[in-house]
Amino acid sequence: MDGVDELEAAWRELRTTSKPGVSLPHLAADALASGFDSPSLRELAGLGFRDELEARRLLPVVLQELGRDPDLAVDPTDPRSQVVPWAVVRTQLAPDLVHRAEQALAVVRRDLAPIAGRVGRLTLFWSGRSDDDGDPILEVGFDDEPFLGSWCGDPQEFSSGVDLPHLVQLIAASTQECIMETFQSYWPTCSLHRRGLHLPDWDSGLGDSGWPAWHCRAAPGHDVALVGGLTEAPLY
Domain-wise residue ranges, the chain: 3-73, 83-226
Q: Which tens digit of pLDDT belongs to each residue from 159-216?
A: 999 999 999 999 999 999 999 888 888 999 998 899 999 998 887 778 788 999 999 9
Question: Do residues 46 and 58 make contact, with C-beta atoms less than 8 angstroms apart?
Answer: no
Q: Which tens digit of pLDDT belongs to each residue from 61-99?
A: 899 888 887 665 555 455 555 688 898 889 888 999 999
pLDDT of 141 above 70: yes
User: Beta-strand (E) ranges in the chain?
Assistant: 84-85, 122-130, 136-142, 145-146, 158-159, 213-216, 222-226
CA 205/CA 203 separation, integer angstroms: 6
Hey, how many other C-beta atoms are within 10 angstroms of the C-beta on 158? 21
Average pLDDT, the chain: 85
Q: Which helix (H) or strand (E) holds 158?
A: strand 158-159
Q: Which residues contact 111 (CB under 8 A, 6 or more apart)?
A: 172, 188, 214, 225, 227, 228, 229, 230, 231
Least confident of 18-22, 37-41, 128-132, 158-162: 18-22
CA 189/CA 178 separation, integer angstroms: 15
Q: Which tens digit of pLDDT belongs to each residue from 91-123?
A: 888 999 999 999 999 999 999 999 999 999 999
pLDDT on residue 78 = 52
pLDDT on residue 20 = 61
Least confident of 128-132, 177-181, 224-228: 128-132
Question: Do residues 129 and 164 make contact, with C-beta atoms less than 8 angstroms apart?
Answer: no
Write down the H helix ranges in 46-197: 52-65, 86-89, 95-112, 116-119, 164-183
Identify which of 100, 88, 66 has the alpha carbon closest to the alpha carbon of residue 171: 100
Overall average pLDDT of the 32-46 stretch: 92
Question: Do residues 208 and 189 make contact, with C-beta atoms less than 8 angstroms apart?
Answer: no
pLDDT on residue 53 = 67
Q: pTM score > 0.85 for this model? A: no
pLDDT on residue 207 = 79
Name the pLDDT band for 144 (thresholds 50, 70, 90).
Answer: confident
